[in-house]
């Protein structure tokens, strides 16, 4: 149908908009699509500014058409859809006051001040109303307000918008799309026939030409949100929605959401009998069941081995300490509210450990240290407890009790850059051994709040050292101003999982404050006393969180080397059990976790059970196999290899596990022949 359209050779084709004509006309003239998923919805001018199709430059302007199915195009669709939502809300609830309504990842939201919170029924009614608005093809029309006074007069019934008008100089961000760019504009929704103004909103734009250009949307949930993101401000009711350039894309998005739900580690943790959160223990305190315990142990064991090989020393420290230690470190009183309240006895306040570093510093300080010992790398799987607010506790990824794979590296100033580089390489290498391979880095630097300790020079130097190490890694580096720890800047490694979600994994921090506070010293070659630099580093972040991330990454189908049960023998009939027990014995001798299913379920049922339990290798044996001294493989994906000689089967499974292969074995990937 669209075959006559010329192929797009230039990735960013330009269209020239003649002076005094609209961008839309030029786009049409150029033969670019006006409807469908690749419809041009706005253009980008020479300054990079997005403009409405109704934009009319006063001089000829070369612009870049922006299609609906691009990140910018989708943002415009979503933002316009937010306006439609707001119009629907004010039709249905005339007393509702408007907050802000920006596009966000995969969708949009709009905040409202209403007398009572929205209900799910409200959402359904609003969706219906929005569909009518979209169908009526209202035109989005931009209007420049003459002055701040004019704006205030127009917005006299919208207290939050008024506030934005007064704040406009410092709210020109992507989040607040209402105002910006030096002038105040309103987008009116006009009736396509009469041109009457139906609704309007303070907004910097740009917008779609008409509401009909919103091809597919859905309202997804309601929540409360603080006005302008501050706990001090009133809470508004936020409605979230999603909008896409086509119904197919909306469906695909819904499918991604459903897939994420299926992978939810909290759900899989129960289904696969890995861990639970007993109410009796309290919120955020997990227990690991035997199968979860195996995965956890394998994760830890491999990490332990790699750390041993890389020159780390293993230490152990207690879970509780007198409060003085955390005063020395500076954690108290800054972070008192995120630590559990103290236990008072014998005239002392004892705190549950919220971080391991102070205790490691004490180990460093326990005797005189020589430069010959540096870098000294102390490592511990250290359990910590943090009083996370009740509303943020979330499965294994945000728990109140968890285990950090924590290490502190004490080195000289000169050693720090090299140590950081090799540390980062080590971290990325180890993470990829667990099957995560898509990384980017975030550099968290000092902010201007009072929580950061230490001098400007020290911060600048530490930040630069970290930045350099990050740049040397060749990975994408995203700045995170104000995100540093109070004692120093940090790099965090963000990993993307199998369905493209990012998780913060490792953090690496440079710390020049703790050495000072703890009076850490070593004797240098010239006999002088020097202060070491401390590098803090958690690789998994926390074992629990990494466990949760891996569970979701693999959708519960753990690599064979991590799987709680690696092999299950399934006899066709009872008389074949003996044969499988022999195979199991051989595997068990090679430390393979193997079971033979002797239950009186039918063979088909056993296959189903162990498939849903995501066992990587199922070994079936019937008369033919017994006779041939063989077994038949069935894999998670349903593929099979029949009649594999027992010796070869044992060898093959052992090799697969020892190779720490992270993909699921299948008839295609497993090679029977040598």
Partner RNA sequence: GCCGCCUUAGCUCAGUCGGCCAGAGCGGCUCACUCGUAAUGAGCAGGUCGUCGGUUCGAUUCCGACAGGCGGCUCCA
What is d(CA 398, CA 401) in angstroms, rounded to the nearest whole number?
A: 9
Candidates 140, 244, 277, 547: give the one binding RNA (CB under 7 A): 277
CB of 381 to RNA, least distance (A): 17
582 binds RNA (CB under 7 A): no
Which one, 464 or 601, has the nearer CB to RNA? 601
Helix (H, G, I), strand (E, B) or coil at 317: coil
CB of 348 to RNA, least distance (A): 19
Which one, 116 or 674, has the nearer CB to RNA? 116
CB of 532 to RNA, least distance (A): 18
3-state secondary structure 446-470: CCCCCCCCCCHHHHHHHHHHHHHHH
What is d(CA 667, CA 61) in angstroms, rounded to the nearest whole number?
A: 59
Scored b (16 or more CB within 10 A) or e, 158-171 reads bebbbbbbeebeeb
Task: Give the interface segment with RNA, choosing from 85-93, 307-315, 462-470, 632-640 (CB under 7 A).
Answer: 632-640
H-helix or E-strand containing 549?
helix 543-553
Task: Give the interface segment with RNA, choosing from 454-462, 633-641, 646-654, 660-668 (CB under 7 A).
Answer: 633-641
Contact (Cβ atoms closer than 8 angstroms) between residue 563 and residue 293: no
**Token pair for 91:** 């039709």
What is d(CA 69, CA 59) in angstroms, rounded to the nearest whole number?
A: 29
Candidates 485, 533, 549, 650: give the one binding RNA (CB under 7 A): 485
Which one, 146 or 279, has the nearer CB to RNA? 279
What is d(CA 254, CA 532) in angstroms, rounded to the nearest whole number?
A: 52
Contact (Cβ atoms closer than 8 angstroms) between residue 224 and residue 238: yes
Candidates 238, 263, 377, 408: give the one binding RNA (CB under 7 A): 238
Q: What angle, rounded to 10 degrees, do the helices at 456-472 and 415-433 form? A: 50
CB of 573 to RNA, least distance (A): 4
Which one, 187 or 487, has the nearer CB to RNA? 487
**Token pair for 49:** 């500014």
CB of 421 to RNA, least distance (A): 21
Contact (Cβ atoms closer than 8 angstroms) between residue 240 and residue 222: yes
Candidates 266, 306, 365, 421: give the one binding RNA (CB under 7 A): 266
Candidates 225, 498, 555, 667: give the one binding RNA (CB under 7 A): 225
Which one, 29 or 601, has the nearer CB to RNA? 601
Residue 357: alpha-carbon gap to chain centroid: 26
Residue 586's alpha-carbon distances to 255, 580, 582, in angstroms, are 43, 10, 6
Residue 575's alpha-carbon distances to 89, 262, 571, 598, 647, in angstroms, are 70, 38, 8, 10, 21
Sequence-ordered list of residues with C-beta below 8 angstroms from that of 312, at least 6 positions apart, any chain: 377, 378, 379, 407
* Beta strand extents in 328-370 (DSSP E only): 343-345, 348-352
Candidates 91, 235, 494, 531: give the one binding RNA (CB under 7 A): 235
Candidates 389, 529, 585, 671: give the one binding RNA (CB under 7 A): 389
608 binds RNA (CB under 7 A): yes
CB of 61 to RNA, least distance (A): 37
Any binding-site annotation on 265?
no
282 binds RNA (CB under 7 A): yes
What is d(CA 186, CA 87) in angstroms, rounded to the nearest whole number?
A: 14
Helix (H, G, I), strand (E, B) or coil at 24: helix
CB of 90 to RNA, least distance (A): 20
Any binding-site annotation on 411?
no
Neighbours of 664 (CB within 10 A): 18
Per-residue mark of binding to RNA, 549-578 (x: CB under 7 A): -----------------------xxxx---
H-helix or E-strand containing 405?
strand 401-411
H-helix or E-strand containing 382?
strand 376-385
284 binds RNA (CB under 7 A): yes
SS3 content of the chain, % helix, strand, coil (to 5): 35, 25, 40
What is d(CA 265, CA 481) in angstroms, rounded to the nearest whole number?
A: 31
If you search the block for the tokens 């009186």, which residue do you land on?
600
Task: Give the interface segment with RNA, choosing from 131-139, 221-229, 423-431, 520-528 (CB under 7 A).
Answer: 221-229
Which one, 154 or 544, has the nearer CB to RNA? 544
Q: Which of residues 397-456 bind RNA (CB under 7 A)?
A: 398
What is d(CA 429, CA 262) in angstroms, rounded to the nearest whole number?
A: 29
Which one, 50 or 570, has the nearer CB to RNA? 570
Candidates 4, 169, 366, 604: give the one binding RNA (CB under 7 A): 604
CB of 609 to RNA, least distance (A): 7
Q: What angle, rounded to 10 degrees, do the helices at 543-553 and 290-309 form? A: 110
Number of residues engaging RNA in binding (CB under 7 A): 70
Task: Give the interface segment with RNA, choosing from 202-210, 341-349, 589-597, 634-642 (CB under 7 A).
Answer: 634-642
Which one, 15 or 354, has the nearer CB to RNA? 354
Which one, 12 or 604, has the nearer CB to RNA? 604
Any binding-site annotation on 357?
yes
Q: Which of residues 322-361 bind RNA (CB under 7 A)?
A: 331, 335, 338-339, 354-355
88 binds RNA (CB under 7 A): no
Contact (Cβ atoms closer than 8 angstroms) between residue 610 and residue 570: yes
What is d(CA 454, CA 582) in angstroms, rounded to the nearest whole number?
A: 66
Candidates 303, 506, 542, 632: give the one binding RNA (CB under 7 A): 632
Candidates 634, 646, 649, 657: give the one binding RNA (CB under 7 A): 634
Task: Give the interface segment with RNA, choosing from 141-149, 187-195, 230-238, 371-379 (CB under 7 A).
Answer: 230-238
Task: Give the interface segment with RNA, choosing from 141-149, 277-285, 417-425, 459-467 (CB under 7 A).
Answer: 277-285
Residue of 512, 523, 519 whose CA lies nearest to 489: 512
Binding-site residues for Zn(2+): 357, 408, 536
Q: Which residues of the shown chain bind RNA in the complex (CB under 7 A)?
A: 117, 119, 221-226, 229-231, 235, 237-238, 266, 270, 277, 279, 282-284, 331, 335, 338-339, 354-355, 386, 388-395, 398, 483, 485-486, 507, 509, 572-575, 600-605, 607-608, 611-612, 618, 620-626, 632, 634, 636, 638, 640, 642
Binding-site residues: 357, 408, 536
């Amino acid at each position: 149908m669209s075959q006559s359209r010329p192929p797009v050779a230039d990735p960013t084709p330009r269209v020239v908009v003649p002076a005094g004509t609209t961008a839309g006309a030029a786009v049409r003239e150029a033969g670019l699509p006006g409807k469908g998923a690749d419809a041009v919805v706005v253009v980008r001018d020479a300054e990079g500014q997005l403009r409405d199709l109704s934009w009319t430059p006063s001089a000829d302007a070369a612009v870049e058409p922006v299609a609906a199915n691009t990140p910018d195009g989708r943002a415009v669709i979503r933002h316009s859809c937010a306006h439609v939502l707001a119009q629907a809300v004010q039709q249905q609830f005339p007393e509702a006051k408007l907050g802000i309504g920006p596009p966000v990842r995969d969708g949009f939201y709009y905040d409202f001040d209403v007398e009572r919170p929205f209900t799910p029924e409200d959402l359904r009614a609003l969706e219906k109303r929005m569909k009518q608005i979209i169908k009526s093809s209202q035109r989005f029309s931009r209007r420049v307000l003459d002055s701040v006074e004019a704006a205030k007069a127009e917005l006299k019934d919208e207290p939050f918008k008024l506030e934005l008008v007064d704040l406009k100089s410092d709210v020109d961000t992507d989040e607040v799309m209402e105002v910006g760019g030096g002038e105040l504009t309103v987008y009116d929704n006009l009736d396509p026939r009469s041109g009457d103004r139906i609704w309007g909103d303070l907004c910097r734009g740009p917008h779609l030409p008409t509401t009909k250009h919103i091809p597919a949307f859905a309202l997804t949930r309601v929540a409360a949100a603080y006005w302008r993101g501050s706990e001090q401000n009133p809470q508004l009711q936020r409605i979230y929605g999603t909008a896409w350039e086509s119904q197919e894309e909306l469906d695909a998005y819904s499918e991604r959401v459903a897939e994420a739900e299926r992978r939810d580690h909290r759900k899989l943790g129960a289904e696969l009998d890995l861990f639970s959160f007993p109410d009796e223990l309290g919120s955020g305190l997990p227990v690991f069941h035997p199968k979860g315990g195996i995965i956890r142990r394998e994760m830890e064991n491999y990490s332990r081995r790699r750390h041993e090989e890389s020159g780390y020393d293993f230490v152990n420290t207690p879970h509780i300490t007198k409060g003085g230690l955390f005063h020395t470190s500076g954690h108290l009183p800054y972070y008192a509210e995120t630590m559990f309240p103290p236990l008072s006895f014998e005239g002392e306040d004892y705190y549950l450990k919220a971080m391991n570093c102070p205790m490691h510093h004490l180990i460093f300080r326990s005797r005189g240290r020589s430069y010959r010992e540096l870098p000294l790398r102390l490592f511990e799987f250290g359990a910590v407890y943090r009083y996370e607010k009740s509303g943020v506790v979330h499965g294994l990824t945000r728990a109140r009790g968890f285990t950090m794979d924590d290490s502190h590296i004490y080195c000289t100033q000169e050693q720090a850059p090299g140590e950081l580089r090799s540390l980062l390489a080590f971290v990325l290498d180890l993470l990829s051994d667990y099957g995560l391979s898509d990384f980017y880095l975030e550099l968290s630097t000092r902010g201007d709040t009072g929580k950061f300790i230490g001098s400007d020079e020290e911060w600048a130097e530490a930040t630069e050292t970290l930045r350099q190490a990050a740049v040397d890694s060749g990975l994408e580096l995203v700045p995170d101003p104000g995100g540093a720890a109070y004692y120093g800047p940090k790099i965090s490694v963000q990993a993307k999982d199998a369905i493209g979600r990012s998780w913060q994994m490792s953090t690496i921090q440079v710390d020049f404050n703790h050495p000072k506070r703890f009076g850490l010293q070593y004797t240098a070659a010239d006999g002088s006393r020097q202060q070491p630099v401390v590098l803090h580093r958690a690789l998994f972040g926390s074992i629990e969180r990494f466990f949760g991330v891996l569970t979701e990454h693999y959708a519960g189908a753990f690599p064979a080397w991590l799987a709680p049960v690696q092999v299950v023998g399934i006899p066709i009939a009872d008389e074949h059990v003996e044969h499988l027990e022999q195979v199991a014995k051989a595997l068990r001798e090679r430390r393979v976790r193997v079971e033979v299913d002797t239950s009186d379920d039918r063979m088909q049922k056993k296959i189903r059970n162990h498939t849903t339990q995501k066992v990587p290798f199922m070994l079936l044996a019937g008369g033919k196999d017994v006779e041939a001294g063989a077994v038949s493989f069935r894999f998670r994906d349903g593929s099979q290899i029949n009649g594999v000689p027992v010796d070869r089967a044992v060898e093959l499974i052992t090799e697969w596990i020892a190779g720490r292969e992270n993909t699921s074995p299948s008839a295609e990937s497993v090679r029977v022949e040598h």
